[in-house]
């Protein structure tokens, strides 16, 4: 359902139901944007900055869809009439970045009286953050969280009417509002939310507190969205959830993630399916079988390890052991020998000893990950780990981090070349900025390849011969 906001009757009552209510407010704000653009003699502009994970990127596409629907024009610079930061709080660094940039926004706002600044996303779900912004960053216009991004037009309207800061943060929700616009960054690929929130409560992680309880969308709504995307020219989708392997367990009629994948596999026109993220504790044999039998599900799995020490994994509340993780990798590789496995690893969790750390290195050596995101443990207030004794000194963490990174890089440069001298299916994604006449694309394994090609190929899946492995990427030649 897409509604033409120019046709909405603004004389009647404000609709109570969603998404009708939001379309009503979009029409209201659109009137304001139109009037003000005419007065200014130029279009009103917006700029979004997205921090953090793929979930936030997808949320930003929805926010941008609303802003475009009301008549704002997107720009890359923060010298815009509406600047929106979609924040992350998974590590302390992410928060510091936002505070730093708010100072810059304040000086821009002094030059442009029309400018409005909005903050949303995970960081805004933390009470102390919102208090700090209310006190020390009075120039911010709108603050909202992760549960009510669909309300952007309504909040914007409130701000225009009230002419003071609007704050709307929800502790949680069981509502999933469908059928609002979204502005996809790529015309040919898209994220699709299949679930929201997380119930795992890994002891270091703030996500369950800021994204709320796990909620799955109905398979019918998801498949309808995917069909719509495919009809619109999308060839690759990424199914998104904090833990896709527990998808559907709490639905009235429970459905497994593997079953959802099989349904997505049937969608005509769609050529590739990815998903993110898998929790090792819930990865089923059924899923491995479904992946193996599918031509569309990509040969890549992101399987966060976090630590290789069973003792630390227990303290992290991950609910698997080192041995179980290694067995799972074996099972996946037996079924799909060509699969690429990537991971996340945290260094310096409270109480991590040198022996624990060596266990992590041991898993890295045994699994030989295609790539690994390595993180320094960041203490997040409100999580159980923040209260644990024996926080690790910075210099010890730094030393371990460097050793881990160099091992991970060495292995991935060896592993990533395994498809060299073969022809692979590649989704051409963008013009290569560094090499004239070249395009950049992705293999099923998610590795990138640069090859000579015409921009008209972007969005198409083409055959590319991989001439040379450069460690983390390939140089290739287009095959006719």
Torsion of CA 181, 185, 190, 195, to 10 degrees: -60
Among 46, 150, 204, 325, binds ligand 5AD (CB under 6 A): 204
Q: Hey, how many other C-beta atoms are within 10 angstroms of the C-beta on 421? A: 10
Among 96, 127, 201, 402, binds ligand SF4 (CB under 6 A): 201
Least distance in angstroms from the C-beta of 195 to ligand SF4: 11
Q: Report the Cα 146 to chain-centroid distance in Å.
A: 13
Q: How many angstroms separate the CA atoms of 433 and 414, rounded?
A: 26
Q: Which stretch binds ligand SF4 (CB under 6 A): 4-12, 96-104, 139-147, 205-213?
A: 205-213
Q: Hey, how many other C-beta atoms are within 10 angstroms of the C-beta on 200? A: 18
Among 216, 290, 378, 412, binds ligand 5AD (CB under 6 A): 378
Q: Please tell me whether 416 is known to bind a ligand.
A: no
Half-sphere exposure of 353 (CA within 13 A, CB side): 5
Asked if 465 is part of the footprint of ligand 5AD (rule: CB under 6 A), the reply reads: no
Asked if 279 is part of the footprint of ligand SF4 (rule: CB under 6 A), the reply reads: yes
Q: Which is nearer to ligand 5AD, 152 or 205 (CB)?
A: 205
Q: Which is nearer to ligand 5AD, 246 or 306 (CB)?
A: 306
Q: Counting every residue, how long is the chain?
A: 480
Among 205, 210, 273, 443, binds ligand 5AD (CB under 6 A): 205
Q: Please tell me whether 47 is known to bind a ligand.
A: no
Asked if 15 is part of the footprint of ligand SF4 (rule: CB under 6 A), the reply reads: no
| 356: its two tokens | 């624990």
Burial of 78 (0-12, 13-18, 19+ CB in 10 A): middle
Residue of 351, 260, 340, 350 whose CA lies nearest to 303? 340
Burial of 141 (0-12, 13-18, 19+ CB in 10 A): buried
Q: How many angstroms separate the CA atoms of 202 and 16, rounded?
A: 38
- By CB under 6 A, what part of segment 331-350 binds ligand 5AD? 344, 346
Residue 411's alpha-carbon distances to 223, 369, 416, 466, in angstroms, are: 38, 7, 8, 20
Among 30, 242, 342, 378, binds ligand SF4 (CB under 6 A): 242
Among 65, 208, 351, 384, binds ligand SF4 (CB under 6 A): 208
Q: Which stretch binds ligand 5AD (CB under 6 A): 314-322, 359-367, 377-385, 460-468?
A: 377-385
Q: Hey, how many other C-beta atoms are within 10 angstroms of the C-beta on 379? A: 15
- Classify each residue of 282-305 as buried b or exposed e, where b means 16 or more C-beta atoms within 10 Å of its C-beta: bbeeebbebbeeeebbbbbbbbbb
Q: How many angstroms separate the CA atoms of 441 and 432, rounded?
A: 9
Among 296, 380, 442, 450, binds ligand 5AD (CB under 6 A): 380
Q: Which stretch binds ligand 5AD (CB under 6 A): 17-25, 327-335, 361-369, 373-381?
A: 373-381
Q: How many angstroms separate the CA atoms of 143 and 119, rounded?
A: 5
- By CB under 6 A, what part of segment 341-370 binds ligand SF4? none
Among 50, 190, 200, 290, binds ligand SF4 (CB under 6 A): 200
Least distance in angstroms from the C-beta of 316 to ligand SF4: 8
Question: Which listed option, ligand 5AD, ligand SF4, none, makes contact with residue 89 (CB within 5 to 8 Å by class)?
Answer: none
Which parts are annotated binding residues?
A: 53, 88, 122, 198, 202, 205
Question: Which residues sit at the interface with ligand 5AD, rule CB under 6 A?
Answer: 90-91, 204-205, 304, 306, 344, 346, 375, 377-378, 380
Which parts are annotated binding residues for [4Fe-4S] cluster?
A: 53, 88, 122, 198, 202, 205
Question: Which residues sit at the interface with ligand SF4, rule CB under 6 A?
Answer: 198, 200-202, 205, 207-208, 242-243, 279
């Amino acid at each position: 359902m897409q509604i033409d906001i120019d046709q909405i009757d603004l004389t009647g009552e404000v609709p109570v139901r969603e998404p009708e209510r939001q379309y009503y407010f979009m029409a209201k704000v659109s009137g304001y944007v139109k009037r003000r653009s005419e007065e200014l003699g130029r279009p009103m502009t917006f700029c979004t900055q997205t921090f953090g994970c793929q979930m936030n990127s997808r949320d930003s596409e929805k926010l941008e869809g609303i802003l475009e629907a009301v008549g704002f024009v997107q720009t890359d610079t923060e010298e815009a009439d509406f600047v929106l930061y979609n924040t992350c709080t998974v590590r302390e660094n992410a928060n510091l970045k936002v505070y730093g940039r708010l100072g810059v926004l304040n000086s821009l706002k002094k030059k442009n009286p029309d400018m409005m600044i909005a903050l949303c996303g995970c960081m805004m779900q933390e009470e102390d953050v919102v208090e700090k912004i209310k006190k020390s960053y009075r120039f911010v216009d709108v603050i909202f969280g992760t549960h009510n991004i669909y309300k952007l037009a309504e909040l914007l309207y409130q701000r225009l009417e009230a002419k003071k800061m609007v704050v709307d943060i929800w502790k949680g929700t069981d509502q999933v509002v469908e059928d609002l616009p979204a502005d996809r960054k790529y015309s040919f690929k898209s994220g699709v939310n299949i679930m929201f929130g997380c119930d795992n409560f890994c002891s270091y992680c703030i996500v369950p507190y800021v994204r709320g309880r796990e909620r799955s969308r109905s398979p019918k709504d998801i498949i309808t969205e995917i069909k719509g995307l495919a009809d619109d020219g999308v060839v690759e989708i990424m199914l998104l959830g904090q833990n896709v392997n527990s998808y559907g367990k709490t639905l009235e009629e429970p459905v497994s993630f593997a079953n959802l994948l099989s349904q997505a596999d049937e969608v005509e026109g769609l050529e590739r399916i990815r998903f993110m993220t898998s929790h090792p504790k819930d990865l089923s044999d059924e899923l491995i079988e479904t992946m193996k039998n599918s031509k569309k599900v990509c040969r890549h799995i992101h399987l966060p390890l976090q630590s290789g020490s069973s003792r630390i994994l227990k303290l992290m509340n991950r609910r698997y052991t080192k041995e179980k993780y290694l067995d799972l990798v074996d099972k996946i590789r037996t079924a799909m020998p060509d699969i690429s496995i990537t991971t996340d690893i945290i260094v310096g969790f409270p109480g991590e000893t040198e022996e624990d750390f060596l266990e992590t290195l041991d898993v890295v050596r045994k699994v030989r990950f295609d790539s690994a995101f390595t993180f320094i443990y960041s203490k997040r207030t409100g999580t159980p780990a923040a209260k644990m004794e024996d926080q690790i000194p910075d210099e010890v963490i730094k030393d371990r981090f460097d050793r881990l990174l160099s091992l991970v890089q060495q292995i991935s440069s060896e592993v990533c070349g395994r498809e060299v001298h073969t022809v692979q299916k590649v989704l051409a994604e963008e013009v290569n900025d560094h090499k004239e006449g070249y395009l950049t694309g992705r293999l099923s394994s998610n590795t990138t390849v640069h090859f000579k090609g015409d921009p008209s190929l972007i969005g198409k899946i083409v055959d590319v011969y991989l001439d040379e492995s450069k460690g983390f990427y390939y140089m290739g030649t287009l095959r006719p």
